[in-house]
Structure 1
Amino acid sequence: MYKVTVYVTYKDSVLDPQGEAVKGAVHRMGYETIEDIRIGKYFEIQVSKDEENVEQVIEEICDKLLANVVMETYRYDIQEVEA
């Protein structure tokens, strides 16, 4: 089996309003050295060992469903694990 971890975040050129709100709260807590906070999405996907094109399948899922590729970017890590 494969365990795939997918991280989706806004592109650097896109304003992240949730990240800005959290950054403001962190600053109000006294942590002025925090320069930026970005909020994202995290997914764990388990893929059958029978799948031969794990990377291709994950790319398609990310492009079609998990990320809005106009505004967001994604990265993933594929690990082979015991079932």
Structure 2
Amino acid sequence: MAKKFNSKVYVTLRPSVLDPAGTAVESGLHQLGYQGVENVRIGKYIELTVTADSEESADRQIHQMCDQLLANPVIENYSFDLTPMS
């Protein structure tokens, strides 16, 4: 029987990739007086619900989604949380 799973996907630029948006945010924070902020990186957060026969199947599907569409594997890393729905 198929089950539903909630997933929270986090996509970030690889450390070796320059992040001009992160640099701009860091500069803005410094201008606002937050001098202790450094190494700002901007990413994406995606929530989705997957229906699958098992948690392993849902995990596999989300990995495929990330590799094919949600993240650019050349310049981005991703991670996700997977939680069964009640």
What 5-or-longer segments of structure 1 have no aligned partner?
A: none
Which structure 2 residues correspond to residues 1-83 of structure 1 after superposition, within 5 A?
1-48=4-51, 50-52=52-54, 53-82=57-86
Counting matched residue pairs gives: 81
Q: Residue 51 of structure 1 aligns to which amino acid in structure 2?
A: D
Q: Residue 6 of structure 1 aligns to which amino acid in structure 2?
A: V
Task: Kindly provide the CA deviation profile for residues 18-57 of structure 1, in whole angstroms up to 9, marking residues without a partner as x.
Answer: 0100000000001111012111001101012x43301110
- What is the rounded CA distance, in whole Å, between the counterparts of 2:38 and 2:5 in structure 1? 36
- What is the rounded CA distance, in whole Å, between the counterparts of 2:58 and 2:13 in structure 1? 24
Q: 3-state DSSP class of the match of 1:43?
A: strand
Q: Residue 80 of structure 1 aligns to which amino acid in structure 2?
A: P
* TM-score, normalising length: structure 2: 0.89
TM-superposed CA distance for 1:77, in Å, is 0.3
Give the 4+ runs in structure 1 shifted more than 4 A. none
Identity within the alignment, %: 42
* TM-score, normalising length: structure 1: 0.92
- What is the rounded CA distance, in whole Å, between the counterparts of 1:35 and 1:24 in structure 2? 9
- What is the rounded CA distance, in whole Å, between the counterparts of 2:18 and 2:53 in structure 1? 37
